[in-house]
């Protein structure tokens, strides 16, 4: 059941940054590492396309970023709930700073399997960072700060996507992939320094003497039972995955769209499209915070956001392959960004701190599974020329529309009944 609402207004963005040093440091760490991540991502896509020229090989990069992350997420959630979250994030940053240097050795088609392995290793080590960060926010913010903190964190992800992808595409085009990989390694070190200066209290279970694998299996089971027994939390873990069933393929298709828009400057065009995606996902949380301040309206808004995101993507092929295709991309990800922040805040408010890491890790498992299924389907259909690029946008945009309709049909009525139970106030 959703918790009773707070009645005080949410704090402003500048007030939060100035007045909460622990959030400020964690936010700065996220900002720096995300900038490097998006530089790295565009460089990887460009490198694989240059070495193979295969849609399936490019799709495999997306899969090696998502499948290992999804598989590692349940264990990551246990570690985040059992270990000191601050130390977990620092360790993740330091290890990733070393792993990404391995990309410097990749410069031949025969080495692409090594690139896939390093990509998987990077995301597995990083799988603990996002659940640790999301689970930490309620511990370092007040109830009045939590929505603002999440909106700012989502906007930061989006701004760094926009800047990192945009400048990453230009940097890759101008200086090559190697320079970008070196920069990404350095950003992890800077991120670790900022996290090290944070103080993050948390409510963890007392240490246990059993082997980690035994503890992990039991804790993962406890987390899943918690989601079953608290359906107000469990059903929310499906919202982002519902978007990803179509959205995973659509984000993958953007990389191919960049090549279609500007064949002679594919890295720059790809970077621009992902930058526009970042602008959209940044606008969404800001608009949601401004125009939907009461969370009683959020479940229905989430369904409409999924539906509209798919509709904008499905309409994209009606445009000529010019930079005007950026407009529906912007609109689609404005709605997806709003869906993301509303879901995250509701999960943070409804989840018990002892289970919060496992809740977000399970959500990541569902998101990554949906993403992987979607991308695998799209890359195979394109590789075998069953779908063209234009028809692929229509097909997977339609999948998203159906997921939005399903959410509005099945979940929203339940949420409305819950909201009217005695003792539950709208927010």
Q: What is the predicted pLDDT for the residue at 361?
A: 73
Name the average pLDDT for the chain.
83
Boundaries of every domain in the chain = 13-419
Which string of DSSP letters, residue by residue, matches 394-411?
HHHHHHHHHHHHHHHHHH
Q: What percent of the chain has pLDDT over 70?
A: 91
Closest CA to 79 of 70, 68, 87, 71: 87
Of residues 96 and 158, the one with the higher pLDDT is 96
| Segment 19-43, tens digit of pLDDT | 888 888 988 888 887 877 777 887 8
Q: What is the predicted pLDDT for the residue at 48?
A: 87
**pLDDT confidence band for 426 (50 / 70 / 90):** very low
**pLDDT confidence band for 421 (50 / 70 / 90):** low
**pLDDT confidence band for 209 (50 / 70 / 90):** low
| Segment 65-79, tens digit of pLDDT | 878 877 777 777 777
Query: How many residues are given for the chain?
Result: 427
Q: What is the predicted pLDDT for the residue at 145?
A: 83
Q: What is the predicted pLDDT for the residue at 292?
A: 86
Exposure letters 223-262 (e unless 16+ CB within 10 A, then b)? beebbeebebbbbbbbbbbbbbbbbbbbbbbbbbbbbebb
CATH T-level fold of 13-419 = Growth Hormone; Chain: A; (1.20.1250)
Mean pLDDT of 252-277: 83
- The answer to whether residues 205 and 81 touch, using CB atoms and an 8 Å cutoff, is yes
Q: What is the predicted pLDDT for the residue at 353?
A: 76
Question: Can you tell me whether residue 105 is helix, strand or coil?
Answer: helix
Q: Is the pLDDT of residue 304 over 70?
A: yes
Q: What is the predicted pLDDT for the residue at 424?
A: 43
């Amino acid at each position: 059941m959703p918790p009773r609402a707070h009645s005080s207004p949410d704090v402003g963005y500048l007030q939060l940054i100035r007045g909460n040093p622990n959030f400020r440091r964690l936010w700065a760490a996220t900002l720096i590492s995300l900038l490097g991540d998006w530089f790295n991502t565009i460089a990887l896509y460009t490198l694989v396309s240059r070495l193979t020229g295969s849609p399936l090989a490019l799709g495999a990069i997306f899969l090696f970023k998502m499948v290992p992350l999804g598989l590692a997420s349940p264990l990551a959630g246990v570690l985040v709930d059992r270990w000191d979250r601050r130390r977990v994030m620092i360790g993740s940053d330091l290890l990733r700073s070393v792993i990404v240097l391995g990309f410097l050795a990749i410069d031949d088609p025969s080495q692409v399997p090594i690139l896939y392995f390093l990509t998987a290793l990077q995301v597995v080590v990083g799988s603990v960072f996002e659940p640790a960060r999301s689970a930490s926010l309620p511990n370092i913010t007040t109830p009045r700060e939590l929505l603002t903190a999440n909106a700012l964190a989502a906007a930061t992800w989006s701004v760094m996507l926009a800047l990192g992808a945009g400048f990453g595409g230009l940097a890759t085009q101008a200086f090559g992939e190697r320079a970008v990989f070196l920069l990404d390694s350095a950003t992890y070190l800077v991120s670790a320094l900022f996290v090290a200066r944070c103080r993050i209290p948390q409510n963890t279970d007392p240490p246990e003497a059993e082997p980690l694998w035994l503890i992990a299996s039991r804790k993962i089971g406890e987390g899943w039972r918690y989601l079953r027994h608290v359906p107000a939390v469990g059903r929310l873990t499906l919202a982002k995955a519902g978007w990803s069933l179509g959205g995973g393929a659509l984000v993958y298709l953007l990389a191919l769209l960049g090549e279609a828009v500007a064949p002679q400057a594919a890295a720059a065009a790809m970077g621009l499209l992902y930058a526009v995606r970042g602008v959209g996902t940044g606008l969404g949380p800001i608009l949601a915070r401004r125009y939907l301040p009461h969370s009683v309206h959020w479940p229905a808004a989430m369904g409409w956001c999924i539906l509209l995101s798919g509709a904008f993507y499905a309409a994209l092929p009606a445009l000529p392959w010019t930079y005007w295709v950026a407009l529906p991309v912007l609109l689609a990800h404005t709605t997806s960004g709003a869906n993301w922040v509303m879901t995250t805040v509701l999960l943070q408010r409804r989840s018990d701190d002892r289970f919060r890491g496992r809740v977000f890790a399970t959500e990541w498992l569902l998101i990554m599974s949906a993403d992987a299924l979607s991308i695998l389907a799209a890359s195979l259909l394109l590789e075998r020329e069953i779908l063209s690029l234009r028809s692929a946008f229509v097909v997977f945009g339609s999948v998203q529309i159906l997921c939005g309709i399903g959410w509005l049909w099945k979940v929203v009525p339940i949420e409305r009944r819950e909201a009217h139970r005695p003792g539950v106030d709208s927010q």
